[in-house]
């Protein structure tokens, strides 16, 4: 037998404490009634031995007082019941009266208990049902937390039929059925939870929305969560579920709005949501990459610390190039590289078209002082020099890049360079080498 089911004096109180620590709070009337009834019963059980002790002391004191009074009393009582005449000593009379009173009291108590026997039986059954219900609900939570969802559902259903926190029991049965992928049973238990008088509406809706999100039914989950958010307290848990729904629907602007709200209310979650924020910004940039005005308006709203993130800077640069603003693309790449040196951004800086190639060459040569052995930077300089037809410098930079790290892109660019200057044999050799090199760039 498990330790928590041991038939000890403290078992009920221990079970009660474990139940309250494992179960979420429920505001249902049945839970409040069961808790208050359990407390009243426990207080009566604790006070019963003290009451009997007080009664025994009082009876004993009364007997001692009567005995002491009879010792010094010489009086008597005369009872005349024609044709009889009875003379009794005072102690005997007092003892008789006391015995008659005690007998009458016992008879009345017996009659009272006999008349109240149906109520006693009903109360006993109710207490036993409550005890079994609490045990079943506790077993359901333990099984659910252990991942034994079939067992959890069985005990939750038992607790529901025993009317122990019926709303909570129905929700737990629904969650267990959902974990077992039995969606029909889950929906039935959600309906039963909704039919319980005084049920916790927000708890049921939040659980329903979370289960819909697990099924990727984002539209339905979002409708439920927006209704909760509009008509109830704006809880962090609800906001996080709504964030999942908007992310599943690829509504990236709404994702960014919800992330800003979460950052204001719970700053500790920012490191966890940072990757999602970057993804949302990149996706928003892609959506607005064909509208110059919308792109610029959105870019103004992005925080500076997000603008210099490599993924964001690369996506923004590509979008600005698409709308014909290559100079802005070059500027933001340079700003991002000043804070986060990333080879992908360096390569993109050289692949961008634009009339400011000389300015970019000068900037790359400045970077070369800090990164003299960067193969990607040398490759970028070679491309820019080829764009400006500076064949000698381009050749030296490309060969330097190959000396640092052989790459397919550098061999291909060098082959193109040799084609431009009429050295076909060397161009063919570098094309063949580029086909065999494993490193693309």
415 HSE (CA, 13 A, CB side): 16
Taking every pair of Cα atoms in the chain, the longest distance, rounded to a whole number of angstroms, is: 159
pLDDT of residue 96: 82
Size (the chain), residues: 441
Write down the pLDDT at residue 8. Answer: 42
Chain CA centroid to CA 114, Å: 54
pTM for this one? 0.68
The pLDDT of residue 7 is above 50: no
pLDDT one-digit tens code per residue, 217-229:
999 999 999 988 8
Query: What are the pLDDT digits (tens) for 131-157?
Result: 999 999 999 999 999 999 999 999 999
pLDDT value of residue 326 = 84
| pLDDT value at residue 83 | 83
Using pLDDT thresholds of 50, 70 and 90, give the confidence band for residue 15: very low
CA 393/CA 98 separation, integer angstroms: 126
Q: Which of 53-67, 118-132, 171-185, 231-245 has the highest mean pLDDT?
A: 171-185
pLDDT tens track for 26-85: 434 444 545 565 566 666 666 677 887 887 788 788 777 777 776 676 777 788 888 888
Half-sphere exposure at residue 186, Cβ-oriented, CA atoms within 13 angstroms: 19
At 62 the pLDDT is: 76
Percent of the chain with pLDDT over 70: 85
Supply the angle between the helices 29-71 and 117-145 in degrees, to the nearest 10.
130
The answer to whether the bond into 83 is cis (omega within 30° of 0) is: yes
Write out the two tokens for 297. 């308006």
CB distance 276 to 297 below 8 Å: no
Q: In whole angstroms, what is the distance from residue 210 CA to residue 354 CA?
A: 49
- The answer to whether the CB of 238 falls within 8 A of the CB of 228 is yes
């Amino acid at each position: 037998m498990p330790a928590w089911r041991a038939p000890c004096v403290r078992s009920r109180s221990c079970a009660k404490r474990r139940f309250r620590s494992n179960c979420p709070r429920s505001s249902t009337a049945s839970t409040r009634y069961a808790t208050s009834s359990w407390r009243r019963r426990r207080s009566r059980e604790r006070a019963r031995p003290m009451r009997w002790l007080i009664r025994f002391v009082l009876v004993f004191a009364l007997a001692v007082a009567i005995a002491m009074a009879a010792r010094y009393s010489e009086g008597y009582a005369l009872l005349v019941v024609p044709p009889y005449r009875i003379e009794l000593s005072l102690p005997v009379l007092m003892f008789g009266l006391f015995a008659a009173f005690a007998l009458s009291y016992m008879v009345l108590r017996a009659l009272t208990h006999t008349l109240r026997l149906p109520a006693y039986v009903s109360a006993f059954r109710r207490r036993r049902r409550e005890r079994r219900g609490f045990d079943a609900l506790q077993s359901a939570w333990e099984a659910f937390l252990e991942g034994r969802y079939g067992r959890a559902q069985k005990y939750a259903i038992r607790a529901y039929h025993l009317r122990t926190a019926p709303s909570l029991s129905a929700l737990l049965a629904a969650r267990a059925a959902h974990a077992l992928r039995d969606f029909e049973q889950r929906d039935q238990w959600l309906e039963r939870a909704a039919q319980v008088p005084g049920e916790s509406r927000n708890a049921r809706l939040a659980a329903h929305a979370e289960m819909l999100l697990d099924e990727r039914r984002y539209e339905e989950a979002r409708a439920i969560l927006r209704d909760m958010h509009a008509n109830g307290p704006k809880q962090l848990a609800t906001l996080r579920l709504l964030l999942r729904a908007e992310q599943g629907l690829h509504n990236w602007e709404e994702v960014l709005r919800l992330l800003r709200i979460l950052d204001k209310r719970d700053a500790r979650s920012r490191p966890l949501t940072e990757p999602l924020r970057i993804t949302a910004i990149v996706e928003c940039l892609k959506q607005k990459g064909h509208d110059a005005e919308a792109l610029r308006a959105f870019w103004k709203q992005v925080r500076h610390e997000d603008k210099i993130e490599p993924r964001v800077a690369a996506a923004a640069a590509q979008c600005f190039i698409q709308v014909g603003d290559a100079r802005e693309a070059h500027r933001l790449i340079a700003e991002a590289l000043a804070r986060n040196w990333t080879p992908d951004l360096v390569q993109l800086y050289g692949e961008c078209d634009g009339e400011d190639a000389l300015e970019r060459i000068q900037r790359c040569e400045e970077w070369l002082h800090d990164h003299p052995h960067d193969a990607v930077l040398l490759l970028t300089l070679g491309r820019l020099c080829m764009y400006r037809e500076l064949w000698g410098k381009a050749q030296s930079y490309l060969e330097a890049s190959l000396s640092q790290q052989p790459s397919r892109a550098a061999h291909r660019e060098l082959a193109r360079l040799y084609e431009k200057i009429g050295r076909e044999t060397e161009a063919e050799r570098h094309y063949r080498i580029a086909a065999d090199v494993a490193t693309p760039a």
